[in-house]
């Protein structure tokens, strides 16, 4: 069915409410109609994500109902036990998140599936925990993570607490495609209650916080030295506003200053350009508070509280750490502390995504910890935790992604900013007790392992034309291999779409052990890597630049050359 037919179908459907129908009738831009109706949003391992609005390629109550009916059918096919296990539903602070969460509940209940919905917004990792704690079959979180305010999304989890695997995503997607978006969707009538729906809250909070606090490595140090330490926290108007400060207080931190205007739950995110804790500009108010109160540390979580941003005092200024730098600092702290306390397992394992810093491998090698690199998406780290638990081959001690996601323990299977905030504060206090700042700690690591530097470049490609452009760019990068990038010679290319690695000089092709994915690695003669990957959650392509140099100055020069080379590649395509 073409986009025009879909558009007319929505206009004529008796299911569509009158306000939506009027807005659709007022659309007078043909390209806009095409962009909204040319297809359904992709249902992948991250579920759905898109701009909120009316249409098939948008996030709204009809597309959420549609996706939920597909999920309901898959759960029902598993039998009565799966239906009774039910689905746990959470939501974040975004506009319409609560409303969309209840739309999912209405579809699930209408299909005879038990529902557990939180009484207010909660962190994503708490949902991951709750799925396992309640023995639920599945979990849904209405969130678009750190994306701009126009976005919302539908994250789907399975009984292991991790986001759904590609095989299950394909199964649900296939079922959705077989349904009619209006005629085949069952919805609980407006105003009708159901005994299948249960509201959850404080009980889950308490059980979750207990598990997070169990991951602390220096409780006694915090209780003993917390008077001499202060920090600023901001939730960026999101779901961390309550549990992050609560967790820190329970561990023993006393001097916790929050950013008042950003503690307000608000889906418009009025005090920031984008609610992404990777970006320093969102921390302007926090930096002012930290300067005024002579604080040691600034931390901030994104709207669904699964990512953590960190700023550390560097003289009179505050340095915004990259996700990789936070990850390496935490990894080194966890391994070193465990070793000193005699609790580092002999089969200890850490995990990171394939686009995260190779510096983590060097840290693990020093301590004899095995590092596993997995595809981008924390669900793949979750799969490794599940594998280790089932086989007993390794004991998971830490996992991270360059996009500011961190986890220890196996209580959850998704990145957790509540946990990361606690461990980062504890680590900063530990360094302070050694007479060091986190800046000095990071520089010591660079001195020991070499200066690693990573940069991510994103290029937006929106709409129908954008998707085609993304595909064509990937094809060109695979077909027309550059001889060099940034002055460094290309030596090999690893293409996860084909599972092959090409030696450029000899033409020899070897297979790779990594799973298939739309990811392309350029390996350069100086040891640097440039990685191409279309985003799985936004209409953009990303290039990851990963390099190692002897000094910071040398790294900056190399970084500039590689950035120019990547921009030239994209410009030549356009």
CA atoms within 13 A of residue 475's CA, in its CB half-sphere: 6
Dihedral in degrees, nearest 10, Cα atoms 239, 240, 242, 243: 120
**Number of residues written out for the chain:** 574
The three-point CA angle 328-333-337 to 5° equals 155
Please tell me the distance from the alpha carbon of residue 559 to that of residue 563, in angstroms, as a whole number. Answer: 6
Single out the catalytic residue among 97, 128, 145, 353: 145
Place of tokens 């399975």: 158
Burial of 292 (0-12, 13-18, 19+ CB in 10 A): exposed
Q: What is the C-alpha separation between 9 and 56, in angstroms, rounded?
A: 11
As a whole number of angstroms, the distance between CA 353 and CA 207 comes to 29
- Note the maximum CA span of the chain: 70
Identify the CA nearest to 393 among candidates 349, 352, 342, 334: 349
- Residue tagged 């990303």 (tokens): 542
Buried b (16+ CB within 10 A) or exposed e, 115-129: bbbbeebbbbbbbbb
Establish whether 145 is a catalytic residue: yes
227: left (phi over 0), alpha (psi -120 to 50) or beta: alpha
Torsion angle, alpha carbons of 155, 160, 165, 168, to 10: -90
β-strands 230-234, 297-301 pairing = parallel
The rounded distance, in Å, linking the Cα atoms of 314 and 356 is 24
Under a CB-based contact definition with an 8 Å cutoff, are residues 139 and 154 in contact?
no
Which of 117, 313, 297 is closest to 196 using CA atoms? 117
Structure tokens at 402: 């360059």
- Please give the DSSP secondary-structure letter assigned to residue 22: H
How many whole angstroms separate alpha carbon 528 and alpha carbon 500? 19
CA distance 298 to 232: 5
Count of CB atoms situated within 10 Å of the CB of 406:
26
Please count the other Cβ atoms lying within 10 Å of the Cβ belonging to residue 535: 17
The Cβ-side half-sphere exposure at 213, using a 13 Å CA radius, reads 20
Helix (H, G, I), strand (E, B) or coil at 551: coil
Annotated catalytic residues are 145
């Amino acid at each position: 069915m073409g986009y025009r037919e879909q558009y007319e179908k929505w206009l004529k459907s008796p299911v569509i409410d009158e306000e939506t129908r009027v807005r659709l009738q007022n659309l007078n831009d043909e390209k806009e109609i095409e962009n909204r109706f040319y297809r359904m949003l992709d249902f992948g391992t991250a579920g759905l994500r898109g701009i909120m609005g009316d249409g098939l390629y948008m996030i709204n109550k009809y597309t959420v109902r549609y996706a939920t009916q597909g999920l309901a059918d898959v759960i029902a096919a598993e039998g009565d036990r799966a239906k009774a296990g039910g689905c746990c539903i959470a939501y974040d602070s975004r506009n319409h998140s609560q409303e969309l969460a209840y739309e999912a509940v209405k579809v699930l209940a209408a299909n005879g599936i038990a529902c557990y919905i939180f009484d207010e917004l909660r962190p994503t990792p708490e949902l991951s925990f709750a799925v396992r704690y309640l023995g639920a079959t599945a979990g849904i979180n209405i969130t678009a993570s750190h994306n701009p305010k126009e976005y919302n999304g539908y994250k789907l989890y399975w009984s292991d607490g991790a986001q759904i695997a590609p095989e299950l995503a394909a199964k649900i997607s296939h079922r959705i495609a077989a349904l009619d978006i209006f005629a085949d969707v069952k919805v609980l009538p407006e105003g009708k209650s159901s005994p299948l729906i249960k509201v959850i809250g404080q009980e889950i909070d308490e059980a979750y916080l207990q598990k997070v606090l169990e991951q602390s490595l220096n409780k006694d140090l915090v209780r003993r030295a917390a008077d001499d330490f202060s920090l600023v926290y901001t939730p960026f108007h999101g779901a961390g506003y309550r549990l992050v400060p609560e967790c820190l207080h329970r561990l023993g931190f006393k001097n916790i200053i929050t950013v008042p205007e950003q503690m307000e739950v608000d889906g418009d995110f009025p005090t920031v350009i984008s609610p992404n804790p990777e970006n320093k500009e969102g921390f302007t108010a926090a930096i002012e508070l930290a300067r005024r109160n002579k604080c040691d540390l600034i931390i901030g979580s994104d709207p669904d509280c699964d990512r953590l941003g960190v700023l550390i005092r560097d003289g009179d200024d505050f340095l915004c750490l990259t996700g990789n730098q936070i990850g390496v600092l935490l990894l080194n702290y966890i391994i070193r502390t465990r070793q000193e306390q005699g609790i580092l397992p002999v089969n200890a394992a850490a995990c990171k995504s394939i686009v995260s810093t190779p510096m983590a491998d060097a840290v693990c090698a020093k301590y004899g910890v095995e590092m596993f690199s997995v595809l981008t998406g924390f669900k793949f780290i979750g799969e490794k935790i599940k594998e280790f638990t089932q086989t007993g081959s390794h004991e998971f001690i830490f996992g991270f992604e360059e996009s500011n996601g961190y986890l220890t323990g196996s209580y959850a299977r998704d990145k957790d900013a509540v946990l990361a905030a606690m461990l980062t504060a504890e680590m900063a206090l530990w360094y302070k007790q050694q007479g060091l700042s986190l800046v000095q700690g990071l520089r010591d690591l660079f001195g020991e392992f070499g200066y690693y530097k990573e940069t991510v470049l994103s290029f937006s490609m929106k709409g129908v034309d954008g998707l085609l452009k993304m595909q064509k760019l990937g094809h060109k990068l695979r077909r027309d291999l550059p001889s060099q990038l940034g002055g460094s010679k290309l030596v090999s290319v690893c293409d996860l779409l084909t599972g092959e690695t090409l030696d450029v000089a000899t033409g020899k092709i070897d297979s790779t052990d990594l799973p298939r994915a739309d990811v392309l690695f350029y390996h350069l003669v100086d040891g640097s890597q440039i990685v191409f990957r279309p985003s799985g959650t936004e209409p953009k392509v990303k290039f990851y630049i990963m390099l190692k140099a002897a000094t910071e100055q040398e790294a900056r020069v190399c970084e500039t050359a590689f950035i120019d080379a990547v921009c030239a590649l994209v410009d030549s395509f356009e």
